Amino acid sequence: MAIDLNLKCQVEGCAKIYYCKGYCRMHYERVRYHGNTDRLKAERGTGYSQYGYNVVMINGISKPRHVLVAEKALGKELPKGVVVHHIDENRSNNDPRNLVVCPDRGYHQILHKRMRAYEAYGNANYLKCYCCGKYDAPENIVVSGTSKSGGSNHPECKKRRDREYHLRKKLERDGRAPTIRHILEMNKE
Ligand SMILES: [Zn+2]
Ligand SMILES: [Zn+2]
Ligand SMILES: [Zn+2]
Protein backbone atom coordinates (compact mmCIF):
# COMPACT_ATOMS: atom_id res chain seq x y z
CA MET A 1 0.00 0.00 0.00
CA ALA A 2 1.27 3.47 -0.86
CA ILE A 3 1.91 5.89 1.96
CA ASP A 4 0.26 9.26 1.57
CA LEU A 5 2.86 11.77 2.66
CA ASN A 6 0.30 14.54 2.76
CA LEU A 7 -1.54 13.03 5.71
CA LYS A 8 -1.31 15.17 8.79
CA CYS A 9 -2.39 14.91 12.38
CA GLN A 10 -5.81 16.59 12.60
CA VAL A 11 -4.98 18.31 15.88
CA GLU A 12 -4.41 22.00 15.22
CA GLY A 13 -0.80 23.03 15.45
CA CYS A 14 0.46 19.45 15.66
CA ALA A 15 3.39 18.82 13.32
CA LYS A 16 4.03 15.21 14.33
CA ILE A 17 4.17 12.39 11.81
CA TYR A 18 0.83 10.86 10.84
CA TYR A 19 0.10 7.54 12.51
CA CYS A 20 -3.51 6.35 12.44
CA LYS A 21 -7.17 7.42 12.23
CA GLY A 22 -6.35 11.05 11.56
CA TYR A 23 -3.80 11.46 14.31
CA CYS A 24 -0.12 11.31 15.07
CA ARG A 25 0.86 8.48 17.38
CA MET A 26 0.72 10.59 20.53
CA HIS A 27 -2.72 12.01 19.80
CA TYR A 28 -4.00 8.65 18.54
CA GLU A 29 -3.03 7.00 21.82
CA ARG A 30 -4.53 9.79 23.86
CA VAL A 31 -7.85 9.35 22.04
CA ARG A 32 -7.63 5.59 22.31
CA TYR A 33 -6.86 5.46 25.99
CA HIS A 34 -8.47 8.63 27.29
CA GLY A 35 -11.19 9.57 24.85
CA ASN A 36 -9.77 12.95 23.82
CA THR A 37 -6.60 14.64 22.60
CA ASP A 38 -6.03 16.78 25.68
CA ARG A 39 -2.69 16.70 27.33
CA LEU A 40 -2.76 14.48 30.41
CA LYS A 41 -1.82 16.41 33.46
CA ALA A 42 -0.44 14.13 36.12
CA GLU A 43 -0.91 15.18 39.71
CA ARG A 44 2.11 15.62 41.95
CA GLY A 45 3.77 12.31 42.71
CA THR A 46 2.07 10.55 39.81
CA GLY A 47 2.71 10.00 36.12
CA TYR A 48 1.51 8.06 33.10
CA SER A 49 2.83 4.73 31.89
CA GLN A 50 3.47 4.17 28.20
CA TYR A 51 0.08 2.41 28.03
CA GLY A 52 -1.73 5.47 29.26
CA TYR A 53 -2.30 4.32 32.84
CA ASN A 54 -2.05 6.82 35.65
CA VAL A 55 0.68 5.53 37.92
CA VAL A 56 1.03 6.51 41.55
CA MET A 57 4.24 6.32 43.58
CA ILE A 58 3.83 5.19 47.17
CA ASN A 59 6.92 4.68 49.33
CA GLY A 60 9.05 4.28 46.23
CA ILE A 61 6.76 1.66 44.69
CA SER A 62 4.69 2.59 41.65
CA LYS A 63 1.20 1.22 41.19
CA PRO A 64 -1.43 1.93 38.56
CA ARG A 65 -4.18 4.09 40.02
CA HIS A 66 -6.98 1.78 38.85
CA VAL A 67 -5.40 -1.03 40.88
CA LEU A 68 -5.24 1.22 43.94
CA VAL A 69 -8.89 2.24 43.49
CA ALA A 70 -9.97 -1.41 43.15
CA GLU A 71 -7.95 -2.40 46.20
CA LYS A 72 -9.50 0.38 48.20
CA ALA A 73 -12.99 -0.71 47.14
CA LEU A 74 -12.25 -4.35 48.01
CA GLY A 75 -10.47 -3.43 51.22
CA LYS A 76 -7.49 -5.65 50.44
CA GLU A 77 -4.61 -6.09 48.02
CA LEU A 78 -5.51 -7.64 44.69
CA PRO A 79 -4.43 -11.28 44.36
CA LYS A 80 -1.81 -12.11 41.74
CA GLY A 81 -3.08 -12.54 38.19
CA VAL A 82 -6.13 -10.36 38.70
CA VAL A 83 -6.80 -7.79 35.94
CA VAL A 84 -8.73 -4.56 36.41
CA HIS A 85 -10.85 -3.61 33.38
CA HIS A 86 -12.09 -0.12 32.46
CA ILE A 87 -15.72 -0.43 31.34
CA ASP A 88 -15.63 2.62 29.04
CA GLU A 89 -12.07 1.70 27.92
CA ASN A 90 -10.90 5.12 29.04
CA ARG A 91 -7.81 4.36 31.06
CA SER A 92 -7.87 7.63 32.92
CA ASN A 93 -11.44 7.11 34.15
CA ASN A 94 -10.64 5.42 37.44
CA ASP A 95 -14.04 5.95 39.01
CA PRO A 96 -14.79 2.71 40.95
CA ARG A 97 -18.02 2.36 38.93
CA ASN A 98 -15.91 2.21 35.76
CA LEU A 99 -13.77 -0.67 37.00
CA VAL A 100 -14.37 -4.42 36.84
CA VAL A 101 -12.05 -6.76 38.71
CA CYS A 102 -11.43 -9.83 36.52
CA PRO A 103 -10.14 -13.01 38.22
CA ASP A 104 -7.60 -13.61 35.46
CA ARG A 105 -6.47 -12.61 31.97
CA GLY A 106 -8.73 -15.15 30.27
CA TYR A 107 -11.82 -13.63 31.87
CA HIS A 108 -10.63 -10.18 30.83
CA GLN A 109 -10.17 -11.36 27.24
CA ILE A 110 -13.69 -12.79 27.17
CA LEU A 111 -14.99 -9.45 28.40
CA HIS A 112 -13.26 -7.68 25.51
CA LYS A 113 -14.48 -10.27 23.00
CA ARG A 114 -18.05 -9.75 24.18
CA MET A 115 -17.63 -5.99 23.95
CA ARG A 116 -16.35 -6.27 20.35
CA ALA A 117 -19.26 -8.55 19.44
CA TYR A 118 -21.72 -6.11 20.96
CA GLU A 119 -20.15 -3.17 19.13
CA ALA A 120 -20.12 -5.03 15.82
CA TYR A 121 -23.51 -6.77 16.00
CA GLY A 122 -25.39 -5.36 18.95
CA ASN A 123 -25.25 -8.81 20.53
CA ALA A 124 -22.56 -9.70 23.07
CA ASN A 125 -23.16 -13.42 22.52
CA TYR A 126 -22.05 -13.35 18.90
CA LEU A 127 -18.79 -15.15 18.27
CA LYS A 128 -16.06 -14.41 15.79
CA CYS A 129 -15.02 -16.95 13.19
CA TYR A 130 -11.24 -16.83 13.12
CA CYS A 131 -11.16 -18.16 9.57
CA CYS A 132 -13.30 -15.58 7.81
CA GLY A 133 -13.19 -12.90 10.53
CA LYS A 134 -16.98 -12.47 10.60
CA TYR A 135 -19.21 -12.58 13.66
CA ASP A 136 -22.15 -14.93 13.78
CA ALA A 137 -24.79 -16.27 16.16
CA PRO A 138 -23.35 -18.85 18.58
CA GLU A 139 -25.37 -21.69 17.02
CA ASN A 140 -23.50 -21.19 13.74
CA ILE A 141 -20.04 -21.22 15.33
CA VAL A 142 -18.13 -24.14 16.76
CA VAL A 143 -15.81 -23.39 19.66
CA SER A 144 -12.86 -25.73 19.85
CA GLY A 145 -10.40 -25.18 22.66
CA THR A 146 -8.10 -22.19 22.85
CA SER A 147 -7.56 -19.59 20.15
CA LYS A 148 -4.20 -21.26 19.43
CA SER A 149 -5.79 -24.59 18.60
CA GLY A 150 -8.46 -23.08 16.38
CA GLY A 151 -10.67 -21.05 18.70
CA SER A 152 -14.13 -20.38 17.28
CA ASN A 153 -14.98 -20.96 13.65
CA HIS A 154 -17.76 -21.61 11.19
CA PRO A 155 -17.56 -25.39 10.69
CA GLU A 156 -17.42 -24.91 6.90
CA CYS A 157 -14.70 -22.24 7.21
CA LYS A 158 -12.64 -24.53 9.42
CA LYS A 159 -13.10 -27.43 7.03
CA ARG A 160 -11.87 -25.30 4.16
CA ARG A 161 -8.92 -24.05 6.17
CA ASP A 162 -7.95 -27.56 7.29
CA ARG A 163 -8.19 -28.81 3.70
CA GLU A 164 -6.00 -25.94 2.53
CA TYR A 165 -3.50 -26.61 5.30
CA HIS A 166 -3.18 -30.30 4.48
CA LEU A 167 -2.91 -29.63 0.78
CA ARG A 168 -0.19 -27.06 1.34
CA LYS A 169 1.69 -29.46 3.59
CA LYS A 170 1.45 -32.17 0.99
CA LEU A 171 2.71 -29.84 -1.76
CA GLU A 172 5.53 -28.70 0.47
CA ARG A 173 6.50 -32.31 1.13
CA ASP A 174 6.48 -33.07 -2.58
CA GLY A 175 8.32 -29.84 -3.38
CA ARG A 176 5.60 -28.69 -5.79
CA ALA A 177 3.81 -25.40 -6.34
CA PRO A 178 0.00 -25.33 -6.18
CA THR A 179 -1.73 -25.58 -9.56
CA ILE A 180 -5.06 -24.04 -10.47
CA ARG A 181 -6.68 -27.38 -9.75
CA HIS A 182 -5.26 -27.27 -6.21
CA ILE A 183 -6.50 -23.75 -5.67
CA LEU A 184 -9.98 -24.73 -6.86
CA GLU A 185 -9.87 -27.72 -4.55
CA MET A 186 -8.94 -25.51 -1.60
CA ASN A 187 -11.81 -23.10 -2.24
CA LYS A 188 -14.41 -25.79 -2.73
CA GLU A 189 -17.38 -25.39 -0.41
ZN1 LIG B 1 -0.80 15.11 16.77
ZN1 LIG C 1 -10.20 -4.30 29.57
ZN1 LIG D 1 -16.20 -18.16 8.92
Centroid of ligand 1 to alpha carbon of 153 (angstroms): 39
pTM score of the predicted model: 0.64
Task: Calculate mean pLDDT across residues 103-124.
Answer: 91
Say how many Å lie between the CA of residue 89 and the centre of ligand 2: 6
Q: Identify which ligand lies nearest to the alpha carbon of 14.
A: 1
List for the chain the helix, strand, coil content (%; round to 5): 40, 20, 45
> What would you measure as the largest C-alpha separation in the chain, in angstroms?
69
Residue 51's beta-bridge partner residues? none
**Residues written for the chain:** 189
Each residue's pLDDT tens digit, 147-185: 554 588 999 998 888 888 888 898 889 888 878 777 777
CA 111 to centroid of ligand 2, rounded, Å? 7
Q: Measure the CA dihedral 119/122/125/126, to 10°.
A: -80
